[in-house]
Amino acid sequence: MLHAAFRAGFEQVVTNLVSNAVQYTPAGGEIQVTTRTGPESVSLMVADSGCGIAAEDLPHLFERFYRADKSRGRSEGHFG
């Protein structure tokens, strides 16, 4: 059984990934959520047919509050 704090954090990550996929996939697009389990691991992949992430932004993905699109602000309720 997962520790409550880990579970809550994991649920938030999944929610963020799927929410972003929904937000940035155009009408008629496709979102795929795939899970795999191994003897000592679990993996989750969220893929969509949205606009993607520019190559120059990829190194910054895990920087807290990094925004690829500088024109977007927190006024929309998102933080990074």
Distance, CA of 41 to CA of 63 (rounded, Å): 25
More confident residue, 79 or 56: 56
Q: For the chain, list the strands marked E by DSSP.
A: 31-37, 42-48
Neighbours of 57 (CB within 10 A): 14
Residue 70 is predicted with a pLDDT of 66
Single pTM value for the model = 0.70
Residue 32: which of 52, 42, 18 has the closest Cα?
18
The mean per-residue pLDDT over the stretch 29-53 comes to 94
Residue 48 predicted with pLDDT over 80: yes
The closest alpha carbon to 66, from 28, 4, 26, 56, belongs to 56
